[in-house]
Amino acid sequence: MFEDRYGVNSYARLITMLGQPCVTFTEIAERFGVSRERARQWQLKYLPDSPRGHQRQRLCLLQHEKRKLLTDPLFRAFYRDARGHFRSGQFVLIRARDGYRKRSVRLGPHLVAIKNARAIPSSKRSAATSYVLTSSVAPADFIYYRLDDGEYLVVPHNLVPRAGTTFIDTTASRFRPYRNTFAVVPGTSPAPQLDDVRDHLREGESDGAAIGR
């Protein structure tokens, strides 16, 4: 048996490594003290339907591109705020020429634009914090606005005039019900927190060519 030769839990380690597209056959071979060809044969034997060759390389590239998204501060803030409200299959990335779009995603069937709101310095007349909300030129169903101090808005696109508008952060504002919640987006549901971006972000079937970055 495999574990008789390579040690306790060696089979589970092999399957885990074979299931990670960024782990090469050379790395697997070195880990088990075999040839690269033997590692390739193990994949054919134990995971015959798993991606191979160029497909495996492509999956590795996509995995790196997904992780690169989290180096963008605005996308990272959006992901942090949205991840607890949607199940993994609902969070769909949109392909771009150089990876994935950083300023739009799909939450289920709904297209969400991702933007920063610009804070307006408070005046003597009002101590309330105000923000400039710019509209999205590209198609969108909802707009996520990052505010200051970890706050955010998720607003239906049709509520924001093409010329933009101002959000005065008071209870009287028509935008206040959209503050720090994704409830306006149909399909919102509490979901387990996932530590690995690969578990939560999946690639969309559309290339999103009409969607602005």
Q: Which residues have CB under 8 Å from 136's CB, separation 6+?
A: 113, 115, 143, 157, 160, 212
pLDDT at residue number 201:
54
209 has a pLDDT exceeding 60: no
pTM across the whole model: 0.70
Shared-domain flag, residues 107 and 152 = yes
CA dist list (Å): 209 to 3, 120, 212: 49, 33, 8
Instruction: Please report whether residue 210 resides in a domain.
Output: no
Instruction: Kindly tell me if the per-residue pLDDT of 12 is higher than 90.
Output: yes
CB-side neighbour CA atoms (13 Å) of 180: 5
Shared-domain flag, residues 163 and 197:
yes
Nearest-CA neighbor of 102 among 205, 201, 198? 201
Give a yes or no: residue 114 inside a domain.
yes
Q: What is the percent of the chain with per-residue pLDDT over 70, rounded to a whole number?
A: 86
Answer yes or no: do 128 and 33 share one domain.
no
192 in the same domain as 107: yes
* Mean pLDDT calculated for residue range 116-138: 84
Within a domain: 163: yes
For residue 196, the domain's CATH number is 3.40.1350
Looking from the CA of 13 toward its CB, the CA atoms found within 13 Å total 12
Residues 23, 98, single domain; the answer is no
Confidence bin at 208 (pLDDT 50/70/90): very low
Domain count, the chain: 2
pLDDT digits (tens, 9 = 90+) for 67-93: 888 899 999 999 999 988 887 778 889
N-term to C-term CA, the chain: 52
Which sign does the torsion angle of CA 145, 101, 83, 184 carry? positive
Q: What would the two tokens of residue 154 be?
A: 């998720």
Residues 90 and 166 occupy one common structural domain: yes
Distance CA(119)–CA(206), nearest Å, equals 34
61-65, 105-109, 140-144, 154-158: lowest mean pLDDT where?
61-65
In a domain? residue 55:
no
Instruction: List, for residues 18-37, the tens digit of each pLDDT value.
Output: 988 888 899 999 999 999 99
**Same domain, residue pair 102 and 25:** no
**Residue 42 sits in the same domain as residue 70:** no
Helix axis angle for 25-32 and 36-46, nearest 10°, is: 100
Whether 153 is in a domain gets the answer yes
Residues 101 and 197 in one domain: yes
Is the same domain home to 155 and 93?
yes
Say what the pLDDT of residue 213 is: 33
Q: Using DSSP bridges, classify how beta strands 104-107 and 130-133 pair: parallel, antiparallel or unpaired.
A: unpaired
| Residue 61 is assigned to a structural domain of this protein | no
The answer to whether residue 57 is domain-embedded is: no
DSSP state of 159: G
Per the domain annotation, does 156 fall within a domain?
A: yes
| Residue type, position 84, single letter | G
Residues 96 and 37 in one domain: no
Q: Residues 188, 113: one domain?
A: yes
Range of the domain at 39: 2-50
